[in-house]
Structures are given as structure tokens and as C-alpha cells.
Amino acid sequence: MSSHTLSTDGVRRDGAGDGRSAGDPNVSVFLRPLASPVALGFGGLAVATMLLAALQLGWVPASEAHQVAWALVVFAFPVQLLASVFGFLDRDTVMGTGIGTQAAGWLTIGVLTLTGVPGRRDMVLGLFLFVAAAVLLPSVLTAGMSKGIAAAVMALTSVRWVLTGVYEQLGTHVWKEVAGWTGVVLCAVALYAAVALEVEDQRRRTVLPTLRRGRAREAMAGDFSAQIRRVRQEAGVREQL
């Protein structure tokens, strides 16, 4: 595993003290390359939303709701949790927060479904989904500034949770159908995003459209010095969060 050594002014140094002014503290920051976890996180999302959609649309009988819930708890939650942790390690607060919120959301949906009666609405679950969708919105808005495809996936997740919450609160069958089909669309978009971002990571260039712009585009095509210019102000380097 390779690494880059930086002085506290954000400039790469080849030796301990080369190029430092007399006032520079003797501090080095090591940056280590890590694999992108976003495709993994979106893959977990695709599985979770599709299984719930199958339950809502009647493709899976209501009597098997507990099996669907176990799949959310055992597969979707740990996969997205792992992606969230590595998102923070990769210095991407937006993806770490957004995928982490989704991980906790699917875990809660799974647990409440496991403890509930199959086929019966849950008012607490409905209220939770409204709040969870709102918590996800800051990540949607921030991702929208530079990561178009990621913002679309998280925005659809938020809409999907709201629609499911409306059904849990009102019980109108049409809301259940709309939530289910929205879940199917979300699955397709999440799978596309996972493939596009994984291919991009492997080729080290954008092949399928990912709607990157601004700093996200600079991260793929910009100069290395631009990537580390602000490193001394980042969490884990600066003293205060």
C-alpha cells in the first residue's frame, strides 16, 4: 500500500524537514489510497428496496414479511454500514453520512417488521420513515452540488421512504402500490449507479455518465495538488470537528 507524506501546509515533502520554514511544526500527514465503497453501498440499497417492493406489490406474500425483514437486517444493513465507514475513511462526508443513514434506516425497517404482525400497518414505522427521509435530505442537497448520480439515488430513497410512510399512516392501497413501484425504480437507478461508479473506479476515468461536476469532477480529472490543498482543514487533521 503506497502513501503520500504531506507537511501541514498541504504540500508533498520528500524528506523530513525539506522545504519547511522555521515556524513550521514537525508534523506529517499520511494519505493512503482506499477502494471506493459507493458501489457496495448502492448494491445493498438495491437489494433492500427491491425486497420491500416485492412485499408491497404482492410478489411476495405478506406471510413472508419476516423473511424479507431478516434479509434487510442480515444483508442490507451490514453492507451499507461497511460502505459508510469506508466513505468516512475516504474523506467523503456526504457519502459516508448518506449511506450510513440508509443503513440505519433499513435496519430499523427490518427490526420493526420482524417485531410486527405480517400484513398489518405500523404507525411508528410510518412516523420513523418521515423523519428518516428528512434526515437524508442534507446529504441529498450536498451531493447535488457535485455528485449527480449519487444525489439521484439518495433523493429517490428519501421519496421512497416518504411514500411508504404515507401508506403506513393512511392505509390507502394506492400509496402501497406507488411506494412499491418507486422502490423498483430506485433499485434500477441504484444498480446503474453501482455499475457506473465501479467501472469508473476500475478504469480511473468516467465511462458511463455519473453526472459529476465541480469538485467531484476535479477529484477524477484534476491535479493531485488540488486534492490535498485543503487537507489540513479536514476532520482528523484539524483539532476541532
pLDDT digits (tens, 9 = 90+) for 159-200: 999 999 999 999 889 999 999 999 999 999 999 999 988 887
Q: What cell numbers appear for 103 in the block?
A: 443503513
* pTM for this predicted structure: 0.80
**Which run of H or E residues covers position 4?**
strand 4-6
DSSP output for 127-144:
HHHHHHHHHHHHHHHHHT
- The helix/strand/coil state of 24 is coil
**C-beta separation of 216 from 222 below 8 A:** no
Domain ranges of the chain: 4-33+224-233, 38-203
More confident residue, 204 or 217: 204
pLDDT value, residue 139: 92
The Cα angle at residue 183 between residues 86 and 149, in degrees rounded to 5: 50
pLDDT value, residue 1: 41
- Among the residues of the chain, which ranges form H helices? 38-56, 65-71, 77-89, 93-115, 123-143, 148-170, 173-203, 215-221, 224-228
In terms of Cα–Cα distance, which of 89, 92, 87, 107 is closest to 40?
Answer: 87
Q: What cell numbers appear for 131 in the block?
A: 423523519
CA distance 61 to 207: 40
Phi, psi of 216 (to 5 degrees): -65, -40
The position carrying cell 408491497 is 56
What is residue 60's DSSP assignment? S
Q: What cell numbers appear for 175 in the block?
A: 400509496
pLDDT value, residue 223: 64
Q: Which amino acid is at 217?
A: R
Phi, psi of 116 (to 5 degrees): -95, 180
**C-beta separation of 119 from 65 below 8 A:** yes
CA distance 93 to 235: 10
Phi, psi of 18 (to 5 degrees): -65, 130
Q: Which fold has domain 38-203?
A: 1.25.40
- The model's pLDDT over 74-109, given as tens digits with 9 standing for 90+, comes to 999 999 999 999 999 888 889 999 999 999 999 999
